[in-house]
Structure 1
Amino acid sequence: MMRVQDVLDVFDRAAERGLFPQPEHPHSYLIAARLHAFSDTERWALVVDTVGYNPRAGNVVDLLHALGNCLTDTDETWATQCAHRIDNFAALFEGGPVASRYRRVPLVVRGRVVPVVAAATTPPEDLFRLLAPRYRDLLLAEDIEVRHLVPADLPQVLRLDDWNHTPLRVRPPDPERERRRHLHGVLTRHAPPQERVPFEVCPSDIEAYQQIGAVLASADPARYRPTRPGNTHWSNWPMSGAL
């Protein structure tokens, strides 16, 4: 059996580098999320799938965050993969999505024509969120896409469509801490410095990820016993896409 703390340390290090999944990402209006956990006696991998409307990317983007000790085609403990989901995005809005004049035409999602009933003035993020109740699985990654990041023989031990996420929070800047970080970088020529970014709340502090870490370390899905209700539905993250 692997150590739970080793798994949680990977979660925390990913967060320090901005590579831990965040439902309330400021650049993406959350639409749907799903979590996949894979494990055996020696290997583990976590893939968190978040779909959101990203105005900068000009599409609905499915972003996969993978963490683990056996990720495919990399020696790193994290990797990302993304895909655009709307095939006819450019045809949907008069004057571009900023103008918010929906042409009231069907959306084409991964080759499938999807009718949507919405007013011409419907904002893009609200339009795409109308897909979630019926076409959620069409937006989220298929198993073959998830398996691009994870060894094919690694068993899946847990899949969640809703879990309780607490926003990660970094402590306010401290001049002395920044001086020490800079000195470390100069002396070791190592970037980023080994000293960790100090969090008030990091993944290892959150009940859901503590329990998911235990599942990954033991390959036992019974270790996931949440006491708090899930909150990864987009309606719980009103500040997603705020920037």
Structure 2
Amino acid sequence: MGMNIFGFKRKKEYTAEDILEQLDRCANDFTFPMLDNGYIYPVHSKLSAYRDGNRWALIIEVIGFNYRSGGHNGISNCLHTYGNCIDTKPGTDNANFLYITDSSSDHPTFDDEYEESLNPKSKTMILRKNEIAINHNRKFYINKGIELEEDDKIFIWEFLRGLEPEHNKDFEATENEIRTRIPRDLPQIMELTEWNHPDCADSELPSRNETFQQIAKVLETGNTELYKPNVKPNNHWKNWPAGGTL
């Protein structure tokens, strides 16, 4: 509570309960990240929190491959945006998908027929307007703990997982992409690439999850020391094996 010019206590514009209520509502509406979404192979994720005395915003980025779209159209960073100062409905929609890859001029990146695996002829790919090398060495992926499903091909999600952590920053939204969705003058207070995420497919709500209980308190108070997780991070793709397997 702050004081106004007359000395009366001024009610805060939001509470941790308000934040959790919005996140729960979105979880019930399926617009809160479900890391084991049956249609999407997860690759990387990031959480960013912003606040001041009257406003709060939270953006959760989920980078993955949607096999129903295929090829570069299936690779995206989906931004889930929450807050009391955003111009859109809390959650996500088609406008919040960032498409950040494309084929180089030499060869199509992926197979022509199904667009679900690497084209053996492709040498490079465009990521964020930069040309990066494509690795076809199977040992490279195996050494990163990526189990290749087929003996004669490398699937897109396996290839993308091979790009992390070296290219995680390229996957993530730029500052401008973030600021087109939240106020440009709203200060950032927290940024995480590792956290314990609720199992939404098993009906776990954000309000019952330690991570988001603590983040809500950080947003309410501005005190980052209130984020002291006791549970291990689980947002890495290895912890969500059902993702993309529907």
Alignment TM-score, normalising by the size of structure 1 = 0.81
Instruction: After TM superposition, give the deviation of residue 163 of structure 1 in Å.
Output: 0.2
Instruction: After TM superposition, give the deviation of residue 98 of structure 1 in Å.
Output: 4.9
Give, in whole Å, the separation in 1 of the partners of 2:48 and 2:66. 23
User: How do residues 61-76 of structure 1 correspond to structure 2 at under 5 angstroms?
Assistant: 61-71=76-86, 73-74=87-88, 76=89
Match of 1:105 in 2: 123
Give, in whole Å, the separation in 2 of the partners of 1:113 and 1:101. 16
Match of 1:24 in 2: 36
Give, in whole Å, the separation in 2 of the partners of 1:139 and 1:99. 19
Match of 2:98 in 1: 83
Instruction: After TM superposition, give the deviation of residue 169 of structure 1 in Å.
Output: 4.4
Residue type of the alignment partner of 1:32: H
Residue type of the alignment partner of 1:91: P
Give, in whole Å, the separation in 2 of the partners of 1:214 and 1:151. 21
Match of 2:226 in 1: 223
Select which of 207, 212, 234 maps to 2:210.
Answer: 207
Confirm or deny that 1:139 pairs with 2:165: no
Over 3 Å counting, the alpha-carbon distance change for 1:53 and 1:165 in structure 2 is: same
Match of 2:4 in 1: none
Give, in whole Å, the separation in 2 of the partners of 1:242 and 1:91. 25
Over 3 Å counting, the alpha-carbon distance change for 1:135 and 1:233 in structure 2 is: same
Select which of 185, 197, 209 maps to 1:165.
Answer: 197
Over 3 Å counting, the alpha-carbon distance change for 1:70 and 1:95 in structure 2 is: same
Give, in whole Å, the separation in 2 of the partners of 1:105 and 1:143. 30
Give, in whole Å, the separation in 2 of the partners of 1:169 and 1:18. 10
Match of 2:149 in 1: none
Match of 2:135 in 1: 117
Instruction: After TM superposition, give the deviation of residue 35 of structure 1 in Å.
Output: 0.2
Give, in whole Å, the separation in 2 of the partners of 1:22 and 1:52. 12
Confirm or deny that 1:5 pairs with 2:23: no
Whether the aligned pair in 1 keeps the contact of 2:42 and 2:244 (CA below 8 Å) is: yes
Over 3 Å counting, the alpha-carbon distance change for 1:131 and 1:14 in structure 2 is: same
Unaligned runs of 5+ in 1: 171-198
Over 3 Å counting, the alpha-carbon distance change for 1:148 and 1:30 in structure 2 is: same
Instruction: After TM superposition, give the deviation of residue 6 of structure 1 in Å.
Output: 0.9
Instruction: After TM superposition, give the deviation of residue 37 of structure 1 in Å.
Output: 0.3
SS at match of 1:145: helix
Match of 1:48 in 2: 60
% identical aligned pairs: 30
SS at match of 2:102: coil
Give, in whole Å, the separation in 1 of the partners of 2:66 and 2:156. 10
Unaligned runs of 5+ in 2: 1-11, 138-151
Residue type of the alignment partner of 1:88: S
Instruction: After TM superposition, give the deviation of residue 100 of structure 1 in Å.
Output: 3.0
Give, in whole Å, the separation in 2 of the partners of 1:77 and 1:130. 32
